[in-house]
Amino acid sequence: MNDKLAAPKGVPEYLPPESATWLAIKDFLSQQAVLAGYGYIELPVFEDTALYVRGVGESTDVVSKEMYTFTDRGGRSLTLRPEGTAGVMRSVIEHHLDRGQLPVKLWYAGPFFRAERPQLGRYRQLQQFGVEAIGSDDPALDAEVVTIADRGYRALGLTGYRLEITSLGCAQCRPAYREKLVAFLEGLDLDEETRQRARINPLRVLDDKRPEVIAQMADAPLMLDHLCESCAEHFGEVRALLEAHGTAYVLNPRMVRGLDYYTRTCFEFVHDGLGAQSGIGGGGRYDGLMSELGGQELSGIGFGLGLDRALLACQVEGLTPGPTTPLDVYVVPLGAARRQAALLVGELRAAGLRTDQVFGERGLKGAMKAADRSGAPFVVVLGERDLEAGVAQLKTMSTGEQVPVPLTDLAAYLTTSLSTRTENHQ
C-alpha cells in the first residue's frame, strides 16, 4: 500500500518551533492560577457517558451532537471528555475534597474532544486550560476567577480581546423570566427545529446567529432586566470588584453559554481577529451542578480557555510568548575533544543552560553550519589545543565575535551573557 498515514481530520499538531510557543502559552496562563493558590488536578480522558448527560445537559449541542461516545468491552457507555467542569466536580465528590477547606480551588489542562465540523480555531481535539473554584458563592470568588483569565491573557501580551459579562440569574428568578421569554417566542415566525430547541432551553434562541432570527429577537426580554434582588446585588458586587482589580469588561445581556449548568455570573473573552470563531475562552458560575451529580449543595465557578485559540490570537497580534530560540548554546568539538565536549554539554545543562552539540563526523565548516541552523545565540568550539590551555572558544553568532573563556568559568560566563542579551532585547 502507498497510502500515506496522516493525523485524523480536525486534530491539530504542534511541532517545533511553534510548539515552544504553545507550551509557553499554557505556562503563562496556568501560572496565574498557581499564584492564586489553585492546585493541579489530572482528569481522566474518558468518563461514564451519564456524567455529561446529567452534568452538561441533554439539550446542549455538546451532548446531543458533539460527543465521542463508545461502548467498551464490558458493555459500559463511555465518552471522551468534551469539557472539564463535570469531570472536576465528579472527582471532588468522589474523593471528598468538598469535606475539607473551602473553596476547593483546582486547575487543569489537556485535550478535550468534540465531533464538530473542523475549521480554523474549532477542532475535534481541542486543548484547554481551566480552573474551578467550588464551595463559595462570594462575589469576590467570581471576580478572582475572571481576573485570573484576564491576567493570563495580559501576561501573553494580548491586547486585542475584550471581556463580556452578564448574569443568568438563579433558580428563584429564572423561572419567571423563562415564562416571559417563552411567551415572547410563541409570537415569532420560527422554523420547527428552532421551536423545538426553544421548548428545551429557550435561552438558546438568544444566541441564534441567523439574521432573520436576530431581527425578530431585537425586543426580546433580557435576563439582566429580570434579576431577583439577590442576583442583582451579587452581579453588582462582581462588577465593582472587577473594576477595582482593573479588569475591563463590557456588558453583553444576550450572552448564552453552550452548557446548561451556568447560573448567575457568566463571561466570555472575545478576539475579533479570529474571525467567525472569535471566542477564546469563557465560563461562569454553576450553583446547582454539584447536587445534580449527587454531591452537596455547593456553589462553584470556573472557566475553560482554549489554548489553540490563544495561540491563534497571539499569531494574529504577532506575539511569540516564551523563548525566542530553542537553545542557549551549541557545542562544536574538534578532533580528540569529542569526549570532553560531551562532558561539557552535561555540565552546561546541569547549570540550567539549554545545550546541544554537533553529532557525527563533520569538518569545522559543516559543524558551524549545523551550529548556525540550531538557532543558538552562542557557540562553544572546543579543540585539542583549547583543552591543553583549559579554555573554550565562545562565539557570539549575532556579531561573529569569538573569545577564549576558561572552562571553569564557562557556565557562569554564558549565564551572564544570556541575561544581558535578554535585557537588551526587552
End-to-end Cα spacing for the chain: 53
In this prediction, residue 424 carries a pLDDT of 58
Is 0.85 topped by the overall pTM?
yes
pLDDT reported for residue 413: 92
Whole-number Å distance between alpha carbons of 423 and 205 = 52
Residue among 305, 309, 259 at smallest CA distance from 86: 259
Report helix angle 229-245 to 139-156, nearest 10: 40
CB-CB contact of 60 with 259 (8 Å)? yes
359-365: average pLDDT = 83
CATH class of 18-173+227-316: alpha beta
Predicted confidence (pLDDT) at residue 4 exceeds the cutoff of 60? yes
Question: pLDDT band for position 35 (50/70/90)?
Answer: very high
With pLDDT > 70 as the criterion, what percentage of the chain qualifies?
Answer: 96
Rounded to an integer, the average pLDDT of 28-37 is 96
What's the whole-number mean pLDDT along residues 231-235?
96
The Cα–Cα gap between 415 and 146 comes to 37
Question: What SS3 state is found at 423?
Answer: helix
**Residue among 202, 112, 165 at smallest CA distance from 284:** 165
What is the pLDDT, as a whole number, of residue 420? 78
324 falls in which pLDDT band (50, 70, 90)? confident
**pLDDT-based confidence at 25, cuts 50/70/90?**
very high
Q: Can you tell me which residue has the cell 551550529?
A: 371
Angle at 98 between CA 93 and CA 100, to 5 degrees: 140
Q: Which helix (H) or strand (E) holds 422?
A: helix 410-425
pLDDT at 161: 96
pLDDT tens per residue across span 198-216: 777 787 788 777 888 888 8
Q: Indicate the pLDDT class of residue 132, thresholds 50, 70 and 90.
A: very high
Kindly state the percentage of the chain with pLDDT values over 90: 60
Specify whether the CB–CB gap between 231 and 144 falls below 8 A: no
* pLDDT at residue 1, as a whole number: 52
What's the confidence (pLDDT) of residue 426?
54
Question: Taking all residues of the chain, what is their mean pLDDT, rounded to a whole number?
Answer: 89
Q: Which region among 25-29, 125-129, 148-152, 284-288 has the lowest average model confidence (pLDDT)?
A: 284-288
At 260-292, the pLDDT tens digits run 678 899 999 999 988 877 899 999 999 888 888
The domain spans of the chain are: 18-173+227-316, 329-425
Note the pLDDT of residue 16: 85
Q: Please give the CATH topology (third level) of the domain spanning 329-425.
A: Rossmann fold (3.40.50)
What is the spatial distance between Cα 347 and Cα 356, in angstroms, rounded to a whole number? 12
Mean pLDDT, rounded, for 294-301: 92
Determine the pLDDT at residue 84. Answer: 93
Instruction: Give, to the nearest 10 degrees, the angle between helix 338-350 and helix 410-425.
Output: 60
Which of the four pLDDT bands, split at 50, 70 and 90, describes residue 188? confident
Please give the helix or strand (H or E) that residue 34 lies within, else none.
helix 18-35
Q: Which residue has the higher pLDDT, 12 or 1?
A: 12
DSSP state of 42: P
Q: pLDDT category, 335, cuts 50, 70, 90?
A: confident
Q: How confident is the model at residue 61 (pLDDT cuts 50, 70, 90)?
A: low
